[in-house]
Amino acid sequence: MHEAIFPKEVIAGVPRLTLTGRERLHVEQHQGLMDYEPEHIVLRTVCGLLRVTGAGMGFQMYTAAEAVITGRIDQVSFTEREGRR
Amino acid sequence: MRRSLRKWPVVVRVEGLNLNRFVRTAGEAGIRLTQVRRLSLRRLKALVREEELPALTDIAVQGGWQLHAGERKGSGRVLAWLSKRWLLSAGAAAALIALAAASRVMWRIEVVDGGSYTADIQSALQELNISAPMLRCQVDIGQLREALEWRYPRIAWIECGWRGTTLVIRPVTGVLPMQEETPTGMRHVVAARDAVVKQIVTRSGTPAVKPGDIVRAGDILIKGEERTSDGAVRPVAARGRILGRVWQAAEIVMPVTETSTRYTGNRQTVWTVRTPWFDFWPMADCGYDTWDTSVSEMPLCGIFLPMTLHMETRIEAICERSRRELQDVKAEAEAAALRKLYEIAGGEESLIDIWGNCSMIDSEKVQASAIGEMLVEIGVQSSPSDMAAPEQSEDSG
């Protein structure tokens, strides 16, 4: 009998990031918007804070579970601590 | 309509502090925001579906943000504009449907370059039950082309097609190749009428008569054959010019007596009211042996009631016969015969000689005749179907 194999991100709720070039970042399974400026966006995830920096950024789409960030993306990074830049 | 319109996005502008929390709260409430853009530190613009706008407004009120909903975006904006003008929309839709329906109908039939076939093609179409207007799907172009090509075998081909809602038919007439001269193409030049040959010029063929010969209509003047240098006989289409002396006669018979009318002075006037169907009273019979009648009709009630006053005046007349001077009658008869001859000959110019004769017959009439001589072309080329007849007449002539 085979044991069912589930992707880790489905079980643990870890975020899945899809970066298309430097203009579009698709974030799935985030836990909420912490900060939003055209130069940086901070999303909370189970892995920590997801910080996206760039210029002229905005949300093409935002829901409770996923967000699509568009604009010029310079950097995508995770930090352990919440709340502060 | 209204329910579907509620799915179209609406522009919202939010003002206040901590707009991040506004976006997060909206997301947690299951509201899908799109095109989120930060305009300034305290202002934000986004699109939200119209059906989610009340929930978003509640969030804004509870959180202390100011929310301004704007107009719909994209095609939803057009639909909203149209929904306010439903009569115009319905009219436009009806016009589109009518246009689509009209484009499926054949409204005209046009025969291009039909020439003498145009009228017959139209009657052929009527026989095939094809007439405008009718549905285009009911016209089988291939079948129509085949039927017309079968009907007109001398036409090379027929183009049938559509130009919009017009059925265009274009018959293309074939050009027959030149007929080659073959042994069966032998043709004689024969006499069109009785004549005495005055002059003959042969361009092809062999002359069968000489000047001075008397020929009858149908006689061969130039044979459709030529003898070659090796002695063989080659059939050709004979050509040439044959002038002949021919004569035309005109005859007039004129009585020596003449009848004149003399009025006695007696007259009778009768009248009645007449309709197309009956007379109101009959008119009296005339008591004279011979009389002239003068009739006048006067409408009584206009064109709406065809009733006329019919009036007849009868004038008694006596016919008397008297004998004319014989010289006068002869001169008149000769002039009449000459005029008749000119009419027959087609004019005075074609006659090269004229003479006449006048004689008295039955002691009551004068007969005058005028004879004219003409010099005319008497040769005509026989058709292939007539080839047998001239051969026989050659023997008889």
The pLDDT value given to residue B180: 47
Q: What is the DSSP letter of B93?
A: H
What pLDDT, in 10s, does the model give residues B349-368?
778 888 888 888 877 889 99
Tokens at residue A71, please? Answer: 């604009």
Query: Do B159 and B115 belong together in one domain?
Result: yes
Please say whether the beta carbons of B329 and B254 come within 8 A.
yes
Provide the CATH number for the domain around residue B39: 3.30.70.340
Structure-token pair, residue A79: 């930090």
Residue B20 domain boundaries = 9-80
Residue B86 lies in a domain: no
Question: What pLDDT sits at residue A72?
Answer: 94
d(CA A79, CA B298): 124
Asked if B32 is an interface residue toward chain A (Cβ–Cβ < 8 A), one would say: yes
| Alpha carbons B49 and B260: distance in angstroms, whole number | 116
Evaluate whether residue B130 is within a structural domain. yes
Residue B94 has pLDDT above 60, yes or no: yes
Q: Give the pLDDT score at B50.
A: 85
Residue B36 near chain A (CB below 8 Å): yes
> Cα B252 from chain centroid?
45
- Give me the domains of chain A, ranges plus CATH numbers: 16-79 (2.60.40.2000)
Contacts of B116 (CB under 8 A, 6+ apart): none
Instruction: Kindly state whether residue B210 falls inside one of the protein's structural domains.
Output: no
| B179: pLDDT strictly greater than 60 | no
Q: Which of B130, B148, B173 is the C-terminal boundary of a domain? A: B173
B46: contact with A, CB 8 A cutoff: yes
Domain contains B386: no
Task: Show Cβ contacts of residue B272 under 8 Å, excluding neighbours closer than 6 positions.
Answer: B279, B280, B281, B282, B283, B310
Which chain B residues are Cβ-neighbours of A61 within 8 angstroms? Answer: 32-34
Q: How many domains does chain B have?
A: 4
Q: What is the pLDDT of residues A31-78, one digit of tens each?
A: 899 999 999 999 999 889 999 999 999 999 999 889 999 999 999 999
Tell if the CB–CB gap between B32 and A32 is shorter than 8 Å: no
Closest residue in B to A41 (Cα) is B20
Query: Is B288 inside a domain boundary?
Result: yes
Lowest mean pLDDT among B72-81, B107-116, B148-157, B250-259: B72-81
> From CA A74, how far away is CA B33, in angstroms rounded?
24
What CATH number should be reported for the domain holding residue B121? 3.10.20.310
CA–CA–CA angle A57, A58, A63 (5° rounding): 145
Same domain? B363 vs B351: yes
Give strand pairing partners of B113.
none
